[in-house]
Amino acid sequence: MNKFLPILIILVFISVSIGSYLIFFRNIEEAVEEKIVPVIKMTAIIQTNFGDIKIELFADDAPKTVENFIKLAKEGFYDGIRFHRVIQRFMIQAGCPFSRDIALKDRWGTGGPGWIFEDEIHEDNHNVVGTISMANAGPNTNGSQFFINLADNNFLDNRHTVFGRVIEGMEVVNAIGKVETGPGDRPVEDVIIESIKVDKK
């Protein structure tokens, strides 16, 4: 019996070790599974009289900006607002509530929602073709106005918060970018946001 004792001890040790090993890795698996969070993709469709523009929103990089944009969109703030500033090969700009009224044309580009909030500059986001960024009057003066880049405007990277990019309808953006303009870079032909619909997937 004594000669089998060492073997028995070794077998018990191996059994305990394997059991501990399996429990250890099962716990790791469970911990990893608990940490896996499904990615929520947020998009918005800007419906205009020129066609639809679908935007992917960068909620992780610019959470306050995206939250503000969604709030205004859901409240109908952007409905009926014009793209009041268009500069070919540069950008198209909208979001001023005064642009609904022709009589207030001199004030187009000066309006907002009634509040301002800080910039959210992210080193991985750049003002390249198709990105959407906040227009402002200086640092930390974001409100409701935004622009879509028609070119790579990297000189704007440290001054304007990039909060999304066009994923469908870039041909609509380019068409708007080619409209005839008058004084103040205002389109001669009305370019109107009919509504903005937000979706989470």
DSSP 70: H
Band (pLDDT 50/70/90 cuts) for residue 12 is very low
Q: β-strands 83-87, 91-94: how paired?
A: antiparallel
* pLDDT tens readout for residues 43-98: 999 999 999 999 999 999 999 999 999 999 999 999 999 999 999 999 999 999 99
Provide, rounded to the nearest whole percent, the portion of the chain with pLDDT above 70.
80
Band (pLDDT 50/70/90 cuts) for residue 2 is low
Question: CA–CA separation, 107 vs 124, rounded Å?
Answer: 34
Domain boundaries along the sequence of the chain: 2-35, 42-200
* pLDDT tens readout for residues 139-160: 999 999 999 999 999 999 999 9
Candidate list 58, 69, 147, 163, residue with the active-site label: 147
Q: CA nearest 192: which of 106, 104, 100, 130?
A: 100
The verdict on whether 136 is a catalytic residue reads yes
Comparing 14 with 197, the larger pLDDT belongs to 197
The verdict on whether 147 is a catalytic residue reads yes
Candidate list 125, 156, 165, 186, residue with the active-site label: 156
The verdict on whether 93 is a catalytic residue reads yes
Is 42-200 a domain of CATH 3.50.50.60?
no
Q: Is the pTM of this model over 0.85?
A: no
Distance between first and last Cα of the chain? 67
Question: CA–CA separation, 82 vs 13, rounded Å?
Answer: 77
